[in-house]
Amino acid sequence: MIVVATEDFELYHGVVNELRDRGVNFTTVEPGDDLPEGTRVLVTSADDDVGDESTGDGAGAADPTDYEVVVGDPDSPRRAVEEALALLRSGEGRIVVGVDPGTRPGIAVLSGDVVVAAFHVPLADAVATIREEVADAVDPVVRVGDGARLQSARIVQDLEDVTVELVDETGTTPYLGTGARGMGDVLAAVNIARLEGETVEERDVEPTAGELGVIQRRSRERSPDNREIDEELARRVAAGELTIEEALDEHRGDGRSGN
């Protein structure tokens, strides 16, 4: 059982709300009060006096050798809850982030076998999202699908200080039944997170002529005046520096003629 004992108002409400949202059984006590039998994890703050866990002072009915202590940050209650849940699962809580790359990557965060967070964000926000999820984690790993080569390369390149594995994503996108539309990228990210890959530090980001041609064709399809961006702008789109819409705006602003 998880016990919350803190006088920090923000931490208390943040942790309690997170636990309730996840349907986790827990109880709360005042710092210094006896902890109930069956306590497995104690969530508290750095400023709370919960007694000396090595002697049991202030620990009451719970044996201090039977529970772990999580010191939470009021600015990040979710992280405290995830650490508590990982400890509750007998420590099998290595953080693994799965990424299904694309223009809007699916991102799934696993602690052990449990999905603790999921995101579907623009490519420009993907790395920042991943970094926030692995911050302070012990030996995290990010597993990136090998599809969408240009987008996955950008993610790999920008995560130089994190262990990154490139995963064969064949077959990771599940069949989506009624009502599940839009969930494919996130569910694929969960499957990618559960597959071991090859550790990489970089990936080729040079677009092929065919990839540039696809981007140029899409720009023409999205342009109301049948305008096609040139190869230079297509390369910038491929590198993730511009969206197709932004590239079209630059093309118009430069006075370049459409095709």
- In the chain, what are the domains? 2-88 (3.40.50), 95-200 (3.30.420.140), 209-253 (no CATH)
pLDDT of residue 6: 95
The number of residues making up the chain comes to 259
Per-residue three-class SS string for 100-135: ECCCCCEEEEEECCEEEEEEECCHHHHHHHHHHHHC
For the stretch 49-90, pLDDT in tens is: 875 443 344 444 556 667 889 999 999 999 899 888 878 766
Phi, psi of 250 (to 5 degrees): -65, -40
b/e per residue 119-137 (b: at least 16 CB within 10 A) = bbeebeebbebbeebbeeb
Q: In a 3-state reduction of DSSP, which class is residue 192?
A: helix
pLDDT (0 to 100) of residue 92:
58
pLDDT at 235: 87
Q: What is the per-residue pLDDT for 207? A: 82
Q: Which residues pair with 48 in a beta bridge?
A: none
pLDDT, position 104:
92
Listing from the earlier edge strand, what are the strands of the sheet with 41-44? 26-28, 2-4, 41-44, 68-71
pTM: 0.63
Rg (CA), the chain: 24
With a cut of 50, list the residues of the chain below it in pLDDT: 52-60
pLDDT given for residue 197 in this prediction: 94
